[in-house]
Homo-oligomer: A and B are copies of this chain.
Amino acid sequence: MSNQPPPGYAIIDLGKGYSERFGPVYLDRTNRRLAFQVAEQHLNPVDTCHGGALATFSDAMIVAVWPGAESGQAHTPTITLTTDFFAPAPLGAWVEADVELTRQTRTMLFVQSLMSVDGRRIGRASAIYRNPAKSGEKT
């Protein structure tokens, strides 16, 4: 596969630490999509994308629907994250997540995504994040 992301994506800076470890992630803010390419560092012992890598990518989906979340400038701590795995993603595959902010309350953001490779679904994610409007508070 191409090492270039699908059209419409631009690389996004998710900061240092674990996000830097994960590797490049690409955002298409207009269409609320997030993408990454499965590389050696994302593989599991059977050479497909590690479940933890897809979970990590899923946790980042908030950046597609909440500007500022990527930098921690608008800190949106994850309350709960669920990732379902439909099919393996091979080395080199571009995993794309279509992200939706399904509901915003005073204290919480409900977000979900469907993950695909070449238009074929490989997983889904559902999460609740703290609404940064309340982030001054301790949970």
Contact = CB atoms under 8 A, between A and B. Distances in A.
Given A56-B53, A121-B103, A128-B79, A45 B21 contact: no
A117 interface: no
B59 A45 contact: no
A135 B16 CA distance: 37
A93 interface: no
Contacts of A112: 112, 124, 126
Contacts of A18: 41-44, 49-50, 52-53
Nearest to A138: B106
Interface of A: 14-22, 40-47, 49-53, 55-60, 70-72, 75, 77-88, 102-103, 105-108, 110, 112, 114, 121, 124, 126, 128, 137-139
Nearest to A86: B103
